[in-house]
Amino acid sequence: MKQIVLKLNIIKKSQGKVFKLCSLAIGFMFFVYNSSAQSIAPFSYTQYMNNLTPINSAYSLTDQAGSVTAVTRKQFTGIDGAPSTYLLNASIPLPDMGASTGFIVQNEQIAVEKQTEASFFFAKSIQLDDQTFLAVSANAGIRSYKANYLSIDENNDPLFNNNISETKANLGFGVLLYSDTYYIGLSLPELTLRSLGTASVQDENYLKNHYYLAGAYLAELSDDFKFKSSGLATYASGSPVTANFAGIFYIKDAFGFGASYATNSQAALLLDLNISTVQIGYSYQFGTNSSNLGGYNNAVHEIMLSYRFGEGSSTPKVL
C-alpha cells in the first residue's frame, strides 16, 4: 500500500512539473510567433496616443497640467508565465521655465524573462510662433534584463542551466514639434552606455536601443465631435520596422472610441473616458492573422488610468 501511495505522489509531482514546463513552453511559443502583441520590448502598449511620455518625454509639455498615469497589460490569462506589463509615469510642469520633469517606471515579464526600467526626465520647449512649439527632452536611469532559466527545471537540465542577468545605465533623448492640434516627434528613450562604447567588455547585449517616430492630428468635426488620427513607427536593431495607425472619435471631449492596426497584423479596439481630472482608457488587442497561433483568441487587455492636477487639469486632454 505504501508503495502505491509513493508511486502516486511521484506521478503527481511529475505531472505538476510537466504542466509547469508545458505552460512555460506555450508562453515561449506565443512570444516567438506573436511577440508584437506583448514582448520584452520597451513600451509595448496600445494606448500610446494618449500617453506618449514614456516613448518621448517631450510630449509631457503638450499639457499644462501635471499628471500621474498607470498602465497594465495582461495576455493569455490563466497560463503560467503569461506576458504582462506594468507602467507608471508622472510629469510635473515647470511653467516659469517652460519645462517639465518627471519619472517613468516599467516592468515587463513573459515566462522566465523580465525587463525592468526606471528613469527621470527633463523637457524644455521654445515657442516658434503663436501656436507652434519645439520641445526637447533628456532622460537617464537604469535598465535591467533577467532570464531565470534555472526555475524551469530543478534537475539542472543542460538546456536551462544558466540564468541571464544584465543591468546597465540608460540615456534617452526626444524632440517634439507640437501645437494645439498636432504633434510629431522623434525619440530614442533607451540608449545604453555600452552603445556609446563605454563598456570594457563587449558581452552579448540583451538591451537593444529602440527608435520611435510618432505623430498625431486632432480635427474638429463640429462643436461636439473631434477625430484624432495618430501613428507610431518603431525600430530596433535586428528587427523589422513596425508601424501602428489609430483613429479615435471624441464626443464633447468626454468619451472617445476608435481602433488601431499595426503592420504586424495586430488590431485593437480603443475606448477613452474623461471624467473631470481622471482619464480612463481601455484597449482590446488581438491578432488578425489566422496563422498567428490563436488569431482572435490571442487577446491582450490593457487598462490605463490617469490623474491630472494643477492648472488646466479640469479641461479634458484629447491630444
- The DSSP string of 135-163 is EEEEEEEEEEEEE-GGGT-TT--GGG---
For 36-62, what is each residue's pLDDT tens digit? Answer: 333 455 557 899 999 999 999 999 999
Span 162-182, average pLDDT: 92
Domain assignment present for 88: yes
Query: Does residue 315 sit within a domain?
Result: no
Digit-coded pLDDT (tens) for 199-253: 334 444 567 788 999 999 999 999 999 999 999 999 987 788 999 999 999 999 9
Calculate the average pLDDT of the chain: 81
Q: What percent of the chain has pLDDT over 70?
A: 74
Q: 199-221 in b/e burial notation, b at 16+ Cβ within 10 A?
A: eeeeeeebbbbbbbbbbbebeee
**Is 314 inside a domain boundary?**
no
- Flag whether 211 is in a domain: yes
Q: Is residue 198 assigned to a domain?
A: yes
Virtual torsion, Cα 205, 33, 86, 107, nearest 10 deg: -20
Q: What is the pLDDT of residues 272-297, one digit of tens each?
A: 999 999 999 999 999 887 655 544 55
Range of the domain at 184: 2-309
Instruction: Write the single-letter amino acid at 26.
Output: I
193 band by pLDDT with thresholds 50, 70 and 90: low
Note the Cα 110 to chain centre separation in Å: 14
Please count the structural domains in the chain: 1
- Tell me: the pLDDT tens digits for 83-100? 889 999 999 999 999 999
187 inside domain: yes
How sure is the predictor about 33, in pLDDT bands with cuts at 50, 70 and 90?
A: very low
**Do residues 113 and 40 make contact, with C-beta atoms less than 8 angstroms apart?**
yes
For residue 277, being part of any structural domain is answered with yes
CATH number (domain holding residue 135): 2.40.160.40
DSSP string, 237-253: TTS--EEEEEEEEEETT
pLDDT value of residue 271? 98
Within a domain: 316: no
